[in-house]
Amino acid sequence: MSLPAPPHSLQPSSRPLIDSFGRHVSYLRISVTDRCDFRCTYCMAENMSFLPKREVLSFEEIETIAAAFVARGVTKLRLTGGEPLVRRDIIDLVNALGRHLGTGGLNELTMTTNGSQLARHAQALAAAGIRRLNVSLDTLDPEKFRAITRRGRIEDVLGGIEAARKAGLQIKINMVAMRGTNDDEIEPMMAWAHAKGMGLTLIEGMPLGEVGIDRVDSYLPLRELRDRLAQRYSLEKLDRTTGGPARYVKVAETGGILGFIAPMSHNFCESCNRVRLTATGQLFLCLGQDDQVNLRDALRDGGLSALDATLDHAMVIKPKGHDFVIDRSAPAPALNRHMSVTGG
């Protein structure tokens, strides 16, 4: 397929992406694949059906769509999956997107990874312009790690983290807090991460997709967890932001940064600046709603003008917020879409 224009030909637009609630969309998360080498219990079913490769956006299409967003004022791109580093030749895409850092159109290019493939890619990611990575890690216990991921080796992840640190990449650990699974490991994880100069962000479980676990029993409100930590640690509120929904504190006793992403117990939708592109080109306007537009079809059928018009329509239909609920009266997932489809 021949694309209508190379990505570098798009010029900055005077029309920023502002939704009907006055929120400026400046952050695009790009899922480059729905595939992953793990099957984390809160994210995927054990036996997943993945997309046929022919339905997945080509790197050229991702580049063109990303360039259109940068031209409309998006300053941060995050590559996600599934697991982004399992996609073949992923460094080619990272290098291509990294060129926007040199033009000044993009402030940051980053990635969320499970770390399993990081050891062999860390140097290349740093060379492409990535300065910061989020690594998903829910436990430091090898047996529990294998149970949560259903197949992963914690040695690969820890080795990848060390390789990334040696390459000069700043690492933040993302930990999904689960009652009865890893709630007893949060303080040890914080001590470990902070001792290595890494931040730790705690994330509430979200009701996305049938995954084979009881989300009601495993749900741990971060408000409860923060109150528990505040009894033992001095938590200094920070105004720091990384462009996403996390709220940060500095832990006086460790000197490190602790983040909280709490979509269930604290709805942060009023400041939402994010949209999510799936590997098939669907642009989801909210992680917790099904409102979407098809950028792949717009680009393939109508070129850049259709793509731009579809972005305008997306801003009109972007919802005010999500309707996540986890309790016994609503045990089913809020959406059938798995977390791996949109990359969190």
Q: Is 175 within 8 Å of 135 (Cβ atoms)?
A: no
CA-CA-CA-CA torsion sign (169, 339, 249, 225): negative
Beta carbons of 277 and 30 less than 8 angstroms apart: yes
Instruction: Answer yes or no: is 31 a known binding residue.
Output: no
Q: Is 196 annotated as a binding residue?
A: no
> Would you call 240 helix, strand, or coil by DSSP?
coil
206 is in an annotated binding site: yes
Number of residues assigned to the chain? 344
Q: 276 a known binding residue?
A: yes
What's the number of CA atoms in the CB half-sphere (13 Å) around residue 173? Answer: 30
Q: Is 82 annotated as a binding residue?
A: yes
Residue 216 annotated as binding site: no
R_g of the chain computed on alpha carbons: 19
Distance CA 194, CA 40 (A): 24
Q: Is 139 annotated to bind ligand? A: no
The annotation status of 112 as a binding-site residue, yes or no, is yes
In angstroms, rounded to a whole number, what is the distance separating the alpha carbons of residues 83 and 33?
7
180 annotated among ligand-binding-site residues: no
The rounded distance, in Å, linking the Cα atoms of 12 and 70 is 7
What is the helix (H) or strand (E) element at residue 341, kind and residue range? Answer: helix 339-342
114: left (phi over 0), alpha (psi -120 to 50) or beta: alpha
Is 29 marked within a binding site?
yes
d(CA 117, CA 95): 17
Distance CA 334, CA 11 (A): 39
- Tell me if 43 is assigned to a ligand binding site: yes
Binding site feature residues for GTP: 29, 78, 112, 172, 274-276
- Which residues sit in the known binding site for [4Fe-4S] cluster? 36, 40, 43, 269, 272, 286
Provide the annotated binding site for S-adenosyl-L-methionine. Answer: 42, 82, 136, 206
Residue ranges for the known binding site are 29, 36, 40, 42-43, 78, 82, 112, 136, 172, 206, 269, 272, 274-276, 286
